[in-house]
Structure 1
Amino acid sequence: MNKSLFVLAVLATLSAPAFAHQAATPFYGGQTAASGDLHVEFAIRDGGLRVWVRDHAEKPVAATGKVTLLLGGAKSEITLRADGDRLVGEAPVKTADKVVAVLALSAGGKAVSARFGQEALVQPALNAGASVGQGLFAANCASCHGASLRGTDQGPPLLHAWYAPGGGHDDTQVLKVIGNGTQGHMWKFGDMPKPEGVKAGQEKDILAYIRAMQVANGIGSAPAAAMPNMDGHAAAWGACRALTGWGEADTLDRGQISGGCFPLM
């Protein structure tokens, strides 16, 4: 057994309460799971980790704990600290990385454990339009949606099944959002302003880049899940689990991701 597989086996057998295995409502572009009467949302940011714990009424629950992180075959433990209604931890991780994370938390007087994972970002060969769009995205969109399109503390991820054609954000709608901005309606990030650096007609190049990245990372190859109701509660979740490279990871093989997933503003 190689080192990576050994560490994975160790992570899978950590002494902890039952892992969370049900989807919950995402607010900040993270992976979600439910454990008992608590919801856990977990997000990887460039250089750090974010964790939110909420009850079924979606009210924040104070928590403490740590994350056991498997990255590049090495295991590390990241202690989380309170930052408003979330927990944060610094870690040598990028949103484009292949990662397994096991959370061991104490929240509301209860021990809570949840396991998450993501695949490494796939960077495809781009045609001329998508290549132009890549530069435009980096200059105008990445500060909020992330260089890897997996979100930041300022904006949600775009590598998600709901943003694939047929997932609630078809090409016409995405072009409109890029050209005009939009009011926030699915997230806690607020409104998306009109990207001032994008000239008329360049929306199509940005869209071409987003679509190329989605396809390369498994988005749009199967029917998308339903979008959440406007009150933030999910109408349906299952189809997006195998599409995003995100979710509570029993295995990291694409198409075998299980657990929760998350939902452009």
Structure 2
Amino acid sequence: MKKQLMIAAAIGAVGIGVWAFLPPNVTPPDQPQTAEIGAALVRVTLPASLSPNAQLGQRAYDTVCVACHGENGNGRNGMGPPLVHKIYEPSHHGDEAFQRAVALGVRAHHWSFGDMAPVPGFTRADVKMIITYMRELQRANGIN
């Protein structure tokens, strides 16, 4: 009886540990999407307010990025990954990774959406404001 209780407790602890390390409201990249094309991939909690730089970034993001990466970085099924996702936390994809993706494009490596082409017309300063916007959204969703 004691051994069975210890096994059940160990299984429960492992389950809680796995759950604790999953980012909130996120579908893992290897899990197939069943939503229709263009549907949002994650739910994004908006912060109470955005800094002035993040507001500028939101406007720039909404001009081009939203078409693939969705409203507020929530991703679009079959079109582009969510940027409000643990994969894009600063320790894994630093700000320069975003700068390079916009300037040079990027080969698909975490998701199966295909390669991202360079995005013409954005300066490094524009992208910096977009990054500020994404980082504020990420923090509001527990991604630091």
TM-score normalized by structure 1? 0.39
Show the counterpart of 1:202.
Answer: 126
Amino acid corresponding to residue 81 of structure 2 in structure 1: P
Q: Name which of 24, 31, 34 aligns with 2:27.
A: 31
Extract structure 1 runs of 4+ deviating beyond 4 A.
Answer: none
Instruction: Give the number of equivalent residue pairs.
Output: 119
Once the two structures are TM-superposed, the CA of residue 190 in structure 1 deviates from its matched residue by: 1.1
**CA 1:209/1:140 → structure 2, altered by over 3 Å: closer, same or farther?**
same
Amino acid corresponding to residue 162 of structure 1 in structure 2: I
Decide whether the 8 Å contact of 2:99 with 2:124 is kept in 1.
Answer: no
Structure 2: distance between partners of 1:202 and 1:188: 27
Q: Name which of 134, 150, 159 aligns with 2:84.
A: 159
**CA 1:180/1:120 → structure 2, altered by over 3 Å: closer, same or farther?**
closer
Show the counterpart of 2:103.
Answer: 179
Could you say which structure has the higher strand fraction?
1
Once the two structures are TM-superposed, the CA of residue 119 in structure 1 deviates from its matched residue by: 5.3
Once the two structures are TM-superposed, the CA of residue 133 in structure 1 deviates from its matched residue by: 0.4
Amino acid corresponding to residue 148 of structure 1 in structure 2: N
String of CA shifts for 1:165-212, please: whole Å, max 9, x gaps: 11x201222222122221112222111111223134211101100101
Instruction: Name structure 2 gaps, 5 residues minimum.
Output: 1-14, 20-25
Question: Secondary structure in 2 aligned to 1:175?
Answer: helix
Structure 1: distance between partners of 2:116 and 2:72: 18
Instruction: Name structure 1 gaps, 5 residues minimum.
Output: 1-20, 24-29, 33-38, 44-48, 51-87, 89-93, 97-117, 221-265
Q: Name which of 97, 106, 131 aligns with 2:55.
A: 131
Amino acid corresponding to residue 161 of structure 1 in structure 2: K
Identity of aligned residues (%): 29
Could you say which structure has the higher helix fraction?
2
Structure 2: distance between partners of 1:119 and 1:144: 16
Decide whether the 8 Å contact of 2:54 with 2:133 is kept in 1.
Answer: yes
Q: Name which of 188, 198, 211 aligns with 2:112.
A: 188
Once the two structures are TM-superposed, the CA of residue 218 in structure 1 deviates from its matched residue by: 1.2
**CA 1:148/1:200 → structure 2, altered by over 3 Å: closer, same or farther?**
closer
Decide whether the 8 Å contact of 1:178 with 1:194 is kept in 2.
Answer: yes
Structure 2: distance between partners of 1:180 and 1:155: 17
More divergent stretch after superposition (176-185 vs 148-157): 176-185
Show the counterpart of 1:242.
Answer: none
Decide whether the 8 Å contact of 2:108 with 2:115 is kept in 1.
Answer: yes
Amino acid corresponding to residue 41 of structure 1 in structure 2: P
Show the counterpart of 2:9.
Answer: none
Question: Secondary structure in 2 aligned to 1:148?
Answer: helix
Amino acid corresponding to residue 174 of structure 1 in structure 2: F
CA root-mean-square deviation: 2.9
Decide whether the 8 Å contact of 2:73 with 2:84 is kept in 1.
Answer: yes
